A and B are shown apart, each in its own frame.
Chain A
Amino acid sequence: MSNYLVVSAVLFSIGIFTVISRRNAIGILLGIELLLNAVNINFMAFGFLHGSPVGSIFVLFTIAVTVAEVALGLAIVILIFRLKKTVQADEVNLLRG
């Protein structure tokens, strides 16, 4: 059982690395997908561990929230691209005073 948790931990670390090191905003979104996926694996593993369906229900909630998050995130990326002609996250400084 702890094998699932180790795989999930490895995925989570790779996701953190992706979020920190990618310069492209879409690449950062991909990293967030990895993070959420690792969380889903943990939920399923603990649901299996306790023989309870709540883990699976939570995974379905997470998947739906992720879809909403990706849709909004990509809309923001396209909007920023239209305004600034770039998708590099560190070139976006609209809020800098």
Chain B
Amino acid sequence: MSGGTQIIFWIASALLVISALGVAFLKNLFHSVLALALVLILTAVLFLTLQAEFVAAVQILLYTGGVVTLIVFAIMLTEKLVGESLTQTNRKIATGGVISLALLFFLIYAIRQNQFLNFSKGFSFDLTKEIASGFLIEFVVPFEALSLLLLASLIGALVLAKEDENE
């Protein structure tokens, strides 16, 4: 990795951790969602440092454009029905902190065990092209199954969220 990429990586990951903490601790739910959008955009920056431009673009378009918009819509719907802004509190901070810190130390210990992780090959080909042929040749059946899943979840969400006409 070149020096510039290294610097961008450190800045992006520092901001990433800070905004992830924002998702976990901000009192206003809407601010939490905005922090999540920041997390997703910074993840796209991390993908860029890994030479994956296409995945970074998809991350911004689908995640930041789609998922965050969906969640904001849900918040606005529920907020409008309540008539007051949603605040959220944390409970079981001790339990959650102990479990997540234990997990974090275990993961970092496991990562440090593997010294072979210190080299990296990188992509010696056009990644976007390889992704396209992978989707259409090797992974074509999961790809079709995925489209079926999206259709099913769309219909399911519609059926669940629809107002009941019988009431």
- Docked pose: A59 CA to B139 CA in angstroms: 13
Q: Which residues does chain A contribute within 8 Å of B156, judged by CB atoms?
A: 72, 75
Categorize the interface residue count of chain B: 35 or more
Instruction: Give the residue among B70, B78, B112 with the most A Cβ atoms within 10 A.
Output: B78
- Smallest distance from the beta carbon of A47 to chain B beta carbons, Å? 8
Residue count of chain A within 8 Å CB distance of chain B:
67
Do the beta carbons of A74 and B93 come within 8 Å of each other?
A: no
Number of A-B contacts (CB under 8 A): 227
Segment 65-97 of A: residues with Cβ below 8 Å from B: 65-72, 74-79, 81-82, 85, 87, 90
Chain A interface main SS type: helix
* Shortest distance between the CB of A73 and any CB in chain B (Å): 9
Chain B at the A interface: mostly helix, strand, loop or mixed?
Answer: helix
Contact of B46 among A4, A31, A53, A72 (CB under 8 A): A4
Contact of B146 among A17, A27, A64, A78 (CB under 8 A): A64
- B78 to A, closest residue via Cβ: A81
Q: Apart from A9-B104, A60-B58, what 10 extra A-B contacts exist at CB < 8 Å?
A: A11-B20, A13-B100, A17-B97, A30-B36, A57-B134, A60-B55, A63-B62, A75-B156, A77-B78, A90-B91
Residues of A in contact with B (beta carbons under 8 Å apart): 1-7, 9-18, 20-24, 26-27, 29-31, 33-34, 37, 40-41, 44-45, 47-51, 53-54, 56-57, 59-61, 63-72, 74-79, 81-82, 85, 87, 90
Point out residues on B near A: beta carbons under 8 Å.
Answer: 9, 13, 16-17, 20-21, 23-24, 29, 32-33, 36, 39-40, 43, 46-47, 50-52, 54-55, 58-59, 62-63, 66-67, 70-71, 73-75, 77-78, 81-82, 86, 88-93, 95-97, 99-101, 103-104, 107-108, 111-112, 114, 117-125, 127, 130-131, 134-135, 139, 142, 146, 149-150, 152-154, 156-158, 160-161
